[in-house]
Amino acid sequence: MRRKVYMVAGYNTISMGTGRKEFNPKKERPGLEEYIREAGQGTLAQIGGAKQVDECVIGNFMASRFNRQANLAAFFPYVDEGLRYKPAIRVEGACASGGLALMSGIKSVLAETAEVVLVIGVEVQNTVKAIYCADYLAGAGWFKNRKNGHAYFFPGQFSDRAGSYFEKYGREKTRQALARWFRNAIENARLCPTAQEHQNSVDDLESLAMMEPNGKSFVDHLNIFDCSKVSDGASAIAVVSEEGLKRCGIPASEAIEVVGWGQMEEDITRLPDDPTELSTTKQAVKMALASAGITRDQVGTAEIHDCFSIAGLLCMEAIGFAEKGKGADYILEGNTARNGRVPINTTGGLIGWGHPTGGTGVHQAVTILEQLTGRAGDAQVTIPADRPYGLTVNMGGDDKSLVSIVYKLGK
């Protein structure tokens, strides 16, 4: 790259929704603007205030429907008076909106139009009933197929992927692996105070997650524990240059350096060639690792897009951690657990931490920042000296919009 790019000063709001004891759908809750403000102010407080910021980017998927609010870039002055009259944009790519916001910030720093970019990702979804939420979220796919799809559109899409995987590679072991994925997610979320499942106290998580799917009440091949929840939340981080680090008074040792990425799109109108493979994810991660000049064996921890447990399993194969058809074995052998070979989703991922869609990609970066700088608190894992890199994989739609980023600790 033509210049170094870093990320610093991460901040997450609570991921709010069912599972949090303070959540009550019948009581008034903070609006979209309050989540934006909290996350933005949380990052600004760490970099010396709004005066340090040159540009702003906000990632969001569907506020126009969930909140009847568009023009989200104009909320930056609401975050802080010092952001008035500064350039700001809103970007959208379904559940990859947060990752695309990060990429926008990275490219501004590389283009030398900014030394410090404030990036926020946000979604507030608990404004409608679940069935209407499913309809809104269907906009992440080819909406002309909506009338032919399941009432719960995206659970239906990934249920179909799970069914194909069961048929090709075996059902029982795969179901056990998906239950283990859920267990790992909740156990990690319990270590993170902002996680939606932080207060989950169920003893036997795997038995719970082995509940037999019921196509009459939900979808054929997944149960509710295989799914990420409806979430309200926001995350923020600053994307900065070396000059930006100096301006903010932050040493490189408290930052993560962006060393590679893959960003790409697949045809939204096209069904997957092979439902048992996340082909776009595979290509995006391949590009990210190649641009960083590393192999997957040098990755010490990863935050991946487990909107559904089967997506987590398929991502293990897409990255190449597991051979095709061996994802269940890889998970059941403990490789993805926090004490495994490559700890995955150390604060719970989308299933455990939550999935405020437009905020997820930014939350992933904040988690990698915390892990690589040793500031993850109770959720901290060991980053081996021979595997010092962090990896994020943020997916929009059914493997259609992909952002994968590789990071290392700043020096």
Residue 277's H or E segment, with its range, is none
Per-residue confidence (pLDDT) for residue 109, from 0 to 100: 98
The first and second tokens of residue 227, run together, are 């799914």
**Residue 35 domain flag:** yes
Single pTM value for the model: 0.98
Q: Is the pLDDT of residue 176 over 90?
A: yes
pLDDT confidence tier of residue 254, bands split at 50, 70 and 90:
very high
Residue 338's H or E segment, with its range, is none
Task: Give residue 86's identity as a one-letter amino acid code.
Answer: K
Question: How much is the mean pLDDT over the chain?
Answer: 97
Q: CA 207 to CA 57: how far, in whole Å? A: 42
Per-residue confidence (pLDDT) for residue 52, from 0 to 100: 98
**Residue 146 domain flag:** no
Report the pLDDT averaged over residues 368-377.
98
pLDDT confidence tier of residue 68, bands split at 50, 70 and 90:
very high
Q: Is the pLDDT of residue 149 over 90?
A: no
**Residue 165 domain flag:** no
Q: Which CATH number belongs to the domain containing residue 77 in this structure?
A: 3.40.47.10
**Residue 19 domain flag:** yes
Report the pLDDT averaged over residues 380-401.
98
Residue 237 CB: number of other CB atoms within 10 A?
31
Q: CA 261 to CA 239: how far, in whole Å? A: 14
Domain assignment of residue 85, given as a range:
6-129+230-253
Taking each helix axis as running N to C, give the angle between helix 360-372 and helix 97-110, from 0 to 180 degrees, rounded to the nearest 10: 60
Q: Which residue has the higher pLDDT, 411 or 108?
A: 108
Residue carrying structure tokens 């499942």: 197
Per-residue confidence (pLDDT) for residue 128, from 0 to 100: 93
- Pair type for strands 256-265 and 299-303: unpaired
Q: Is the pLDDT of residue 222 over 80?
A: yes
Per-residue confidence (pLDDT) for residue 30, from 0 to 100: 94
Q: CA 331 to CA 335: how far, in whole Å? A: 6
**Residue 280 domain flag:** no
Taking each helix axis as running N to C, give the angle between helix 130-137 and helix 153-169, from 0 to 180 degrees, rounded to the nearest 10: 80
Tell me if 330 sits within 8 A of 321, measured CB to CB: yes
Per-residue confidence (pLDDT) for residue 57, from 0 to 100: 99
**Residue 370 domain flag:** no
pLDDT confidence tier of residue 2, bands split at 50, 70 and 90:
confident
User: pLDDT of 180-201, one tens digit each?
Assistant: 999 999 999 999 999 999 999 9
User: pLDDT of 309-365, one tens digit each?
Assistant: 999 999 999 999 999 999 999 999 999 999 999 999 999 999 999 999 999 999 999
Q: Is the pLDDT of residue 374 over 90?
A: yes
**Residue 100 domain flag:** yes
Under DSSP, is residue 205 helix (H, G, I), strand (E, B) or coil?
helix
CA angle (366, 117, 94) in 5-degree steps: 60
**Residue 81 domain flag:** yes
Q: What percent of the chain has pLDDT over 70?
A: 100
Give the number of domains in the chain.
1
Per-residue confidence (pLDDT) for residue 372, from 0 to 100: 98
Per-residue confidence (pLDDT) for residue 146, from 0 to 100: 86
Report the pLDDT averaged over residues 145-152.
82
Name 183's Cβ contacts closer than 8 Å, sequence gap at least 6.
Answer: 205, 206, 209
Q: How distant, in Å, are the alpha carbons of 93, 105, 163, 167, 232 from that of 399?
A: 12, 23, 17, 21, 23
Q: How distant, in Å, are the alpha carbons of 98, 168, 228, 285 from that of 123?
A: 10, 36, 14, 25
User: pLDDT of 277-292, one tens digit each?
Assistant: 999 999 999 999 999 9
